[in-house]
Chains A and B, each alone.
Chain A
């Protein structure tokens, strides 16, 4: 009895310490996020004068006004959504289609194919050859130039292959083939439904990648109507930077001097909100997904 009580007391202390530690960790992670949001809603002069430390000071929507009055912001948002949705579907589909055969032991030459794929992880042709390929394939200045060239990430293929090897048992495959199931049928009727976790993870990885795409779009797109959000936001930052050049409109310069500070925060918020909204729904799969295959045995 006495022994048991003592343990409880120790447990409590332990839990208390853990809670304190976790609260501190939470504050450390949360504070910069709150600070960014607060700054984005504050008056620029207050931010320059370092008056903002937790909550917005002199609540002001001027930064958001500067972002949302840009004519390209709506098309940028729509384009980024398009690239994210279509790009993710295409990427996940292609990754699974590549990973599945590589996971089958009876696939002749799978080691060679794996090595060829791994080779591209270490070596690439460089920007100019890639540009020439994109151009000569007729992808230049079309939406496909953003979706196709980097549709498959080798790293994701390997994770997916390992997942299939460890989770789709050979017995299941044998049972299905005895009933006359083809590989394609097996892939879509068994593998896909059984791989929710890995597909969610792939989806998140690819979606984040597509959402943040910037450089590809700079190189392969010419039509401004196709620009993703990131380029539009970058333009907004550039136009509001504090230029050393003189002979400027004094009012515009004053506005820019303050805005160049706060608009960064507004842009961060605008760019991150969609991903922050998706993340909680995928997160439960996330931990399970990337850990899979890490324990051998």
Chain B
């Protein structure tokens, strides 16, 4: 009796957990949609509703009640029922939803990678190939935006020949040469030195900052050169090594396994910088700076907020040269120190090498994918085509015309000095939650033409206002155009490579281990825990590269390169 009662108790607890069977909701019957002729709005004769799952950034309150969403609905006749998932859970959520079999019509803003496209598109057939829509007839605005990205359509194409997604076509001019070095100009003025142009001059200036007390406080507290290992191009070696050999190596602990590992193109062959004598000379130079206390010894352990503290915390300015993508990486925006740092051009090395690392501005892949089961693919493609027009991008990114932006007045000039295209009435802001527009351009075309067509006030370089934060975009443009563009070597940078599912599966661990080894060794050489001047240590390191299958990885990359670019 008692036993029975206990068994019943336990069973009652366990049974509900085993009752899993409950059918999924039946998919809606493929509706008959009546479309209007291509190139006209609205898109459909009678309104339709499509489900789109969107990765929601915190700056958008609700996609369904968003004013831009309403605008699109009125224009196209397509009502989108947005299913919002938090941006930070997008990757997990995508996998879960695709495994559950209950898909929305499309996914927006998930940044689906080539590997995922191969996996879910090529192999499982869950994503619809969109090749047909990449045409003047279907998506004129998209094709026009692609004109600024030569080879962009090829880049979007998966190895199986299908295009599975719509891109974000963003061009950031100054990001294409982001490995910059800045100098605190008052130090140079005080010491009566010119901006260094060669490695030797650079060394002399560092020495002078260290020994001649440019901040005038009577203490030898100056730090001639500093950087950080976590941060947006805060790494000193990315700037300095390029005076010895073209090298895109990034020692950031968050860097990827395939790009930024020091690979380069050598007469049409994929090669690497990291086993060359010139690379060793570069490391030896940085090691010399480190040993002599010219390079701040926390540069390979701190992150960019610590770097900012280093620059800002002392009563008098102390830091001479700092590496960073822009001045805000290491100083308080608008502060006195921020306003006084100036970018310097790549330095000429002992053998005349003088390079600026190239960052290809590729289309952002995987911004919109369509479920292969969706009956509404035509409508979705035409809906998103509008977003790639200049107007569509501005509406989506900045807000409404006349409130957030307007077409430029005649006679105003843009960042690049050409006649301006548009002007900003309010600043772009992703810091405050709002429900007016989408802010993040998931599918759209903030192309270089659009970005450089922003009307700016023409401030002369001698005007003190030139270096203030309000003029930041112009400063970034000018620095990049004058100091870095002349030295960029697009012929040496390895373009983005695509690997087949088999290749990724076989070699991703090998690539990861090799990249870790290269990064760690480079840092060890620079800080001197491995002696770069000792031939035996160097030879052991080079032998270690082969042991970790460097030749195999190079061959793999060569295969991928030939497949895409030959």
Contacts and interface: CB of A to CB of B under 8 A. Distances in A.
Interface of A: 45, 48-50, 70-71, 94, 97-98, 101, 104, 106-109, 113, 127-128, 131-133, 135-138, 177, 182-184, 218-219, 222, 224, 231, 234-236, 238-240, 242-244, 246-258, 260-261
Given A127-B92, A219-B89, A222-B83, A247 B428 contact: yes
A78 B309 CA distance: 37
B379 to A, nearest CB: 23
A231 B89 CA distance: 10
A236 B491 CA distance: 43
A136 B334 CA distance: 54
Contact of A249 (B2, B20, B431): B431
Interface stretch (B26-34, B240-248, B324-332, B549-557): B324-332
Nearest to B3: A108
B82 to A, nearest CB: 11
Contact of B24 (A136, A222, A252, A258): A136
Contact of B328 (A177, A182, A251, A257): A257
B472 A246 contact: yes
Given A98-B13, A183-B6, A246-B472, A70 B85 contact: no
Contact of B9 (A97, A235, A242, A253): A97
Contact of B6 (A101, A236, A251, A255): A101
Contact of B431 (A50, A234, A239): A239
A121 B334 CA distance: 54
A243 B88 contact: no
Contacts of B3: 106-108
Interface string B455-488: 0000000000000011011001000000000000
A251 B238 CA distance: 30
A128 to B, nearest CB: 5
Contact of B95 (A128, A218, A243, A257): A128
Nearest to A177: B2
Given A218-B86, A231-B86, A250 B334 contact: yes
15 contacts: A101-B9, A104-B6, A107-B3, A132-B100, A136-B20, A138-B22, A183-B6, A219-B93, A236-B58, A238-B57, A242-B305, A246-B476, A248-B427, A249-B429, A253-B431
A253 B332 CA distance: 10
A50 B309 contact: yes
Interface in B291-343: 305, 308-309, 312-313, 325-326, 328-329, 332-334
Contacts of A135: 100, 102
Given A238-B87, A246-B172, 4 more contacts: A50-B309, A106-B3, A243-B430, A250-B472
B169 to A, nearest CB: 16
Nearest to A249: B427
Interface string B41-63: 00000000000000001110110
A244 B88 contact: no
A252 B309 contact: no
A224 B62 contact: yes
B8 to A, nearest CB: 10
B429 A222 contact: no
B293 to A, nearest CB: 22
Contacts of B334: 250, 254
Interface residues of B, number: 62
B59 to A, nearest CB: 6
B88 A107 contact: no
B13 to A, nearest CB: 6
Nearest to B397: A247
Given A231-B86, A250-B469, A258-B332, A182 B451 contact: no
B2 A183 contact: yes
Contact of A219 (B10, B96, B312, B427): B96
Contact of B309 (A49, A106, A132, A246): A49
Nearest to B334: A254
Given A128-B99, A133-B20, A224-B84, A250 B9 contact: no
A131 B85 CA distance: 15
A190 to B, nearest CB: 15
A63 to B, nearest CB: 14
Interface in B426-450: 426-433
Contact of A244 (B20, B83, B232): B232
Contact of A98 (B10, B19, B325, B430): B10
Given A132-B100, A218-B89, A239 B83 contact: no
A146 to B, nearest CB: 14
Contacts of B174: 246
B5 interface: yes
B410 interface: no
A236 B432 CA distance: 10
B92 A219 contact: yes
A257 B2 contact: no
A256 B88 contact: no
Nearest to A252: B431
A70 to B, nearest CB: 7
Nearest to A94: B13
Given A97-B13, A104-B6, A249 B329 contact: no
Contact of B332 (A94, A183, A248, A257): A257
A70 B232 CA distance: 28
Most buried by B among A71, A94, A135, A246: A246
A127 B88 contact: no
B21 interface: yes
B103 to A, nearest CB: 13
Interface string B95-127: 110011010000000000000000000000000
User: Considering the complex of A and B, which 6 residue pairs feature the smallest CB-CB distances, nearest first?
Assistant: A249-B427, A218-B89, A244-B232, A235-B58, A249-B429, A252-B431
A150 to B, nearest CB: 12
A247 B473 contact: yes
A295 to B, nearest CB: 28
A222 B58 contact: no
Contact of A136 (B21, B59, B325, B454): B21
B5 A183 contact: yes
Contacts of B93: 218-219
B199 to A, nearest CB: 28
B333 A253 contact: yes
A257 B99 CA distance: 40
B96 A49 contact: no
A40 B172 CA distance: 35
A128 B332 CA distance: 44
Nearest to A47: B309
Nearest to B13: A98
Contacts of B59: 239
Nearest to A231: B86
Nearest to A243: B430
A131 B473 contact: no
Nearest to A98: B13
Given A131-B96, A135-B100, A48 B6 contact: no
Contact of A261 (B86, B305, B427, B429): B305
B100 to A, nearest CB: 6
A248 B309 contact: no
A250 B471 CA distance: 10
A108 B7 contact: yes
A193 B426 CA distance: 65
A106 B2 contact: yes
Given A48-B309, A222-B84, A249 B428 contact: yes
A214 B427 CA distance: 33
